[in-house]
A = this chain, B = another copy of it.
Amino acid sequence: MTVLPRRQQNRLNRERAILDAALKVFAAQGYSGASMDAVAAEAGVTKPTLYSYFPSKESIFQAMMLGKRDVMLDVFEHPSDQGMVADLLVFAWAYADTVMRPEMLSLARLIIGEVQRFPEIGRAYQASGPDHLLRGIMRYLDSQRRAGRLAFEDAELAAQDLWGLILSAPRTQALYMPDAQPDRASLARYIRNGLRVFLKAYSTAPGPDLTELEALQSAPTQQVNHDA
């Protein structure tokens, strides 16, 4: 640990505080609706301080957005090695717990709402979030295909199918209705059904896999911790 001079240390902390505040305020009010005074107040500083860290509202917005790139969990990087069905269940829950969190949904709404004015942000988010995750799913599905447990021609389509089956319905609903977030029971229903359909269409041994899925469903599922 290099010991930074107190000034620079403070400066870094404040920059983070400002970006955190910007996320909160922009997510709640939208880009045009958010005022720099509100961001400053939320960050515990005053407006000119903001402008000593960033030259403009737009630059704060962009810095904040691009800084949030690595929020996405590398869900598919570390399979649990307890068999494909168990792996898929773990992945599905980890992913659901990530993208269905209220802050992530707010961020998604913000990006979608502003993407026509800030196209780069949409591209950056797409590349670092969904696309990155999709490649993870693809790698995993491919490994299962090589092991002879799945059969498909196009790994990308298969991965998109898995995503679409498991989470598109609850996520779409959550995007449109912030008040009515799905509870864990209905998430479980979506995940169970999605995996069932996916396995039926893609598994080389649908019967046994479905039996295994039924057996695992009663297992308790722990919520992923995100407070790190």
Binding site for B on A (CB under 8 A): 28-33, 106, 109-117, 119, 122-123, 125-126, 130, 154, 157, 160-161, 163-165, 168-169, 172-173, 175-179, 189-190, 193-194, 196-197, 200-202
Give the number of copies in the complex. 2
Known interface pairs A32-B32, A201-B197; A116-B178 also in contact (CB < 8 Å)? yes
Task: With both chains docked as a complex, state the minimum distance between the C-beta of A122 and any C-beta of chain B, in angstroms.
Answer: 5
Contacts of A157 in B (CB 8 A): 189-190, 193
Chain B positions within 8 Å of A201 at CB level: 196-197, 200-201
How far is it, in angstroms, between the C-alpha of A190 and the C-alpha of B164 when the chains are bound?
11
* Docked CA distance A111–B176 (Å): 7
In contact, B29 and A112 (Cβ under 8 angstroms): no
Q: Is the pair A122, B30 in contact by a Cβ cutoff of 8 Å?
A: no
Knowing A109-B115, A115-B109, A157-B193 touch, does A177 contact B33 (C-beta < 8 A)?
A: no
**Cβ contact of A163, chosen from B168, B177, B189, B194, cutoff 8 A:** B168
State in angstroms the CA–CA spacing of A211 and B124 once bound together: 40
Contacts of A28 in B (CB 8 A): 116
Known contacts A30-B113, A109-B115, A113-B109: A130-B165 contact under CB 8 Å: no
Contact of A168 among B115, B116, B164, B176 (CB under 8 A): B164
Q: How far is the CA of A178 from the CA of B115 in the complex (A)?
A: 7
With contacts A30-B30, A113-B112, A116-B106 known, is A122 near B176, CB below 8 A? yes
A/B interface sample: 15 pairs, CB < 8 A:
A29-B32, A30-B33, A31-B33, A106-B116, A112-B112, A112-B176, A119-B178, A126-B176, A130-B176, A157-B190, A157-B193, A163-B169, A168-B168, A168-B172, A197-B201
The 9 closest A-B pairs by CB, nearest first: A113-B113, A168-B168, A32-B32, A164-B164, A32-B33, A164-B168, A160-B169, A200-B201, A197-B201
